[in-house]
Structure formats: C-alpha cells, structure tokens
Amino acid sequence: MGTMGCENILLMMFMLSDMLSVVSATEIKIEAFFNKTAKLPCNFKNPQNSSPEELVIFWQGHKDDVLYEFYRGKENLMYVHSNYINRTKLNPNTWILQLQNVQIMDQGMYTCFVQHYGSKGPVVIHQFSFQLSVLAPFSKPEIIQLDNKTAEIGDVLNFSCSANQGYPKPQKMYWKIETKNSTKYLGDMYVFQDNTNQLYNVTTILSLLINDTSPWINITCLIQTQESMEPLASETMHLKTQPKENPDSSFLIPGLVIAGAISAVLCIFILIGRNACCATREAPNVKAENTEHPKERDEALEPMNHGSCEKTEDR
Ligand SMILES: *[C@@H]1O[C@H](CO)[C@@H](O)[C@H](O)[C@H]1NC(C)=O
Ligand SMILES: *[C@@H]1O[C@H](CO)[C@@H](O)[C@H](O)[C@H]1NC(C)=O
Ligand SMILES: *[C@@H]1O[C@H](CO)[C@@H](O)[C@H](O)[C@H]1NC(C)=O
Ligand SMILES: *[C@@H]1O[C@H](CO)[C@@H](O)[C@H](O)[C@H]1NC(C)=O
Ligand SMILES: *[C@@H]1O[C@H](CO)[C@@H](O)[C@H](O)[C@H]1NC(C)=O
C-alpha cells in the first residue's frame, strides 16, 4: 500500500516553490490538440538503473494538483486530483505520461518529479518542468452573403465570414477581393468564446460596393491563426456583376447613405447600350475595418460614349 509520508508532501511543496522561481528562462513547450492525447514527458533516463520498486514518480500541474503517481512499482491514486482520474496512462519504459481528452483548462505548467526510495527514505533525484499549450484547428471559414441580392452595379452587398471552435484566438481575419486588381482588407474580427470548452468562434463582416470596374468579383475570406502558419482560407465566392435592371432606379445608391461620404459626388454618366450607370468616386468601395484603404475607381475603365459629367448633391 503506497502512501506518501508527511515529509514527502513537504518536500513536494518545497520543490514546487523552488521550481516556480526558475521556470521562465528555458521553458520547454509541449503542444497537444484539443480533445486528443497529450504526451507529458519526464525526461528521466534512470541513470542508476533503479528498479521500479525504488522509485516514486509523479506529475504535478498548476495549483500543485497531482495528475499521476507511480509509487514503488504501482499506480497510487490517493493524491491524484479528480480532474485527472481515468485520464492518464504511463508508459513505464519511456516514463511518458499520456493525458487524454485534453481541454483548454489543462494548459499550464507541469512538473515531473522522481524520487529514489532508499534506506534513508525518499530523495528527489530528478525533476522536469514544461509548459503545456493546447491547439484547436478552426473550421474552414465560411462566407455567407447576408442580403438576398444579385451584384448590380451601385449595390452595397454585405457578407459575413465565420470559423468556429478554434484555439488560440486568431491574429486577424481579412478579405481578399479580386477584380481586375486584387486587394486585401483587414476585417473587424468579432470573437466569441464558448463557455463550455473555452474555444473561440470568430466572425467578420464585409460591406462591398459593387462598381463597374470588373464584370466579376471573387471574394475569399482568410484567417491568420498564428504568425508562422499559413492562413486558413474559405472557398472563393464568385460574383458576376450586372448592370442595374431599371435605369431610373440607378440613381438611388443605398450604399451612399451608410458610406457616409456624401459630399459632392462626382457622377460619371456612362452609356452602355440603353442603360445609364452611375459610378461614384468618393464613396469607399468597401466598408470594413481596414488599414489599407480601398483604391479609387479604376481609371482604366473605358466608358463607350463618354458623356457629360455632372455634379450631384446627395439624394
Ligand atoms: C470534443 O469531444 C467532445 C466529447 O467527446 C465532443 O462532443 C466535441 O464535439 C469535441 N469537440 C471538438 C472541437 O472536437
Ligand atoms: C431570395 O429571393 C428570392 C426571390 O425574391 C426568394 O425566392 C428566396 O427565397 C430568397 N432567399 C432568401 C434566402 O431570402
Ligand atoms: C449592409 O450593412 C450595413 C451596415 O454595415 C447596413 O446598414 C445595410 O443595411 C446592409 N445592407 C443590406 C442590404 O442589408
Ligand atoms: C475569379 O473567378 C473567375 C471565375 O468566376 C475565374 O475565371 C477567374 O480566374 C478568377 N480570378 C482570379 C483573379 O482569381
Ligand atoms: C490595376 O492593375 C493594372 C495593371 O495590372 C494597372 O495598370 C492599374 O493602374 C491598376 N488599377 C488600380 C486601380 O490599381
């Protein structure tokens, strides 16, 4: 029957406070995927070839909770914290402890202690500390068009892009808008944390003014999770731009109202067949929290029959 004497517990506490003062410099990092198994090392080589009966090995987590104790040849559950019951498995050859069903709350500092149990009682012969961090891959980002509209020139279309159940928090989300020229816009990232498992769901919104610079627009949403990693991309959404159906309504540009840039709007009157199209230069193409501002209307556009250019006040 393996029990830890009082002196052992005192020693553990001493070791832990000792350990806390030396961690920062050479921190060893162990990563594990959410809901999967973490491999918690001890890095114990057993240099004196001690038999298992002479060894006491245990792992402690944050708040000194004991994950697992191997007491002189047997597993000892007496001091194991309830969070870790039925979640651990020791490989006695490598002294690697498997921690199953890893959760975000398991993140933190861990230490493995090895004591040699000789005639004078237990003596700590080895200790090894490391930081456990947990990763959860976000679902593939998904773009949803928020309004039920075709991409008519002059319209403002809204899109959302979301990805779910990831960890840690992504660095940023952005949109890639491909017309004749491609542009990237940083999105305003809304982050929601799931209370049950601490994972993140993220969303960003794009308001896009459809202008007449390109017959098609390709929209992709990307998430930069961590600096070193490739961004996670959505499927590309393909929009075909269309001229306004009703020429009379083409002068009502709903986007201008929200765009807020309603001063003197330069209106270029373009005749394509019998449709009159109105393009604005002052209103931003895109309303998204951005660092790079959208380019002005592409000058390369060649209106056939370049008509008069009239100034209009807001309507
Ligand atoms: C994690 O595991 C639980 C229970 O096994 C399951 O319900 C949940 O969907 C899993 N979550 C993820 C993000 O894999
Ligand atoms: C979009 O509009 C069409 C026609 O007006 C309608 O049949 C369809 O149900 C709408 N879809 C959504 C998602 O609102
Ligand atoms: C698009 O979003 C803006 C807010 O950014 C909103 O004012 C506008 O009504 C939305 N447009 C449509 C067609 O839903
Ligand atoms: C945009 O999508 C169209 C298909 O809709 C494709 O032909 C074109 O190559 C794409 N353009 C870019 C720059 O990806
Ligand atoms: C788009 O790209 C072309 C060349 O690829 C360039 O000549 C033009 O100025 C660009 N237009 C804008 C608005 O950046």
- pLDDT, tens only, 1-52: 444 444 444 444 444 444 444 444 468 999 999 999 999 999 998 888 999 9
Number of H helices, E strands in the chain: 2, 22
Q: What is the span of the domain harbouring residue 39? A: 27-135
Range in 6-15, 52-61, 188-197, 230-239 the model is least confident about: 6-15
pLDDT of residue 87: 95
Mark whether 111 and 62 lie in a shared domain. Answer: yes
Mark whether 120 and 155 lie in a shared domain. Answer: no
Range in 115-129, 152-166, 207-221, 233-247 the model is least confident about: 233-247
pLDDT of residue 113: 95
CB 219 within 8 A of CB 177: yes
Residue owning the nearest CA to atom 8 of ligand 1 = 35
Please report whether residue 166 resides in a domain.
yes
Nearest Cα residue to 167 out of 189, 188, 131, 191: 191
Q: Is any atom of ligand 4 closer than 6 Å to the C-beta of 14?
A: no
Mark whether 97 and 67 lie in a shared domain. Answer: yes
Domain boundary among 135, 152, 167: 135
Mark whether 117 and 161 lie in a shared domain. Answer: no
Confidence label for 217 from pLDDT (cuts 50, 70 and 90)? very high
Residue owning the nearest CA to atom 9 of ligand 3 = 258
140: Cβ contacts below 8 Å, ≥ 6 apart = 163, 232, 233, 234, 235
Q: What is the mean pLDDT of the chain?
A: 76
Please report whether residue 312 resides in a domain.
no
Q: What is the arithmetic mean of pLDDT over 45-68?
A: 91
Distance 35 CA to ligand 1 centre (A): 6
Confidence label for 248 from pLDDT (cuts 50, 70 and 90)? very low
**Helix H or strand E encompassing 11:** helix 6-20
Domain boundary among 115, 135, 155: 135
257: Cβ contacts below 8 Å, ≥ 6 apart = none
Mark whether 121 and 215 lie in a shared domain. Answer: no
Distance 241 CA to ligand 3 centre (A): 18
Residues 122-179 have pLDDT tens digits of 899 999 999 999 999 999 999 999 988 888 888 899 999 999 999 999 999 999 999 8
Q: Is any atom of ligand 5 closer than 6 Å to the C-beta of 182?
A: no
Please report whether residue 304 resides in a domain.
no
Distance 300 CA to ligand 5 centre (A): 7
Please report whether residue 168 resides in a domain.
yes
Q: Is any atom of ligand 4 closer than 6 Å to the C-beta of 238?
A: yes
How much is the pTM? 0.66
Q: Which residues line ligand 1 (CB under 6 A)?
A: 34-35, 136, 165
Please report whether residue 297 resides in a domain.
no
pLDDT of residue 286: 52
Please report whether residue 153 resides in a domain.
yes
Q: What is the arithmetic mean of pLDDT over 231-252?
A: 75
- Identify the nearest ligand to the CA of 183 by its number: 5
CB 109 within 8 A of CB 23: yes
pLDDT of residue 246: 59
CB 111 within 8 A of CB 17: no
CATH number at residue 195: 2.60.40.10
Confidence label for 229 from pLDDT (cuts 50, 70 and 90)? confident
Q: Which residues line ligand 3 (CB under 6 A)?
A: 146-147, 156, 158, 207, 258, 287
**Helix H or strand E encompassing 39:** strand 38-40
Q: 137: cis peptide before it, omega within 30°?
A: no
Distance 34 CA to ligand 1 centre (A): 8
Mark whether 210 and 114 lie in a shared domain. Answer: no
The first and second tokens of residue 54, run together, are 């002479």
* Residue matched to tokens 């697992």: 68
Nearest Cα residue to 67 out of 92, 45, 100, 24: 100
Mark whether 151 and 129 lie in a shared domain. Answer: no
Please report whether residue 256 resides in a domain.
no
Pairing status of strand 121-135 against strand 29-33: parallel
pLDDT at 312 over 60: no
pLDDT of residue 314: 36
CB 243 within 8 A of CB 276: no
Percent share of the chain, pLDDT over 90 = 52
Mark whether 108 and 157 lie in a shared domain. Answer: no
pLDDT of residue 258: 31
Mark whether 105 and 156 lie in a shared domain. Answer: no
Q: How far apart are CA 200 and CA 137, in angstroms?
A: 10
Per the model's pLDDT, the better-predicted residue between 189 and 92 turns out to be: 189
Please report whether residue 20 resides in a domain.
no
Domain boundary among 240, 259, 279: 240
User: How many domains does the chain contain in total?
Assistant: 2
Q: How far apart are CA 16 and CA 12, in angstroms?
A: 6
pLDDT at 315 over 70: no
Q: Which of 175, 177, 178 to mutate to test the pocket of ligand 4 (most atoms within 8 A of CB)?
A: 178
Mark whether 126 and 185 lie in a shared domain. Answer: no
* Residue matched to tokens 């000789």: 118
- Burial profile 211-247: b = 16 or more Cβ within 10 angstroms, e = fewer: bbbbeebebbbbbbbeeeeebbebeebebebebbeee
Mark whether 128 and 152 lie in a shared domain. Answer: no
182: Cβ contacts below 8 Å, ≥ 6 apart = 176
The first and second tokens of residue 258, run together, are 């929200």
- Would the CA dihedral through 142, 146, 151, 156 be positive or negative? negative
Mark whether 120 and 151 lie in a shared domain. Answer: no
pLDDT of residue 134: 96
Range in 208-212, 244-248, 307-311 the model is least confident about: 307-311
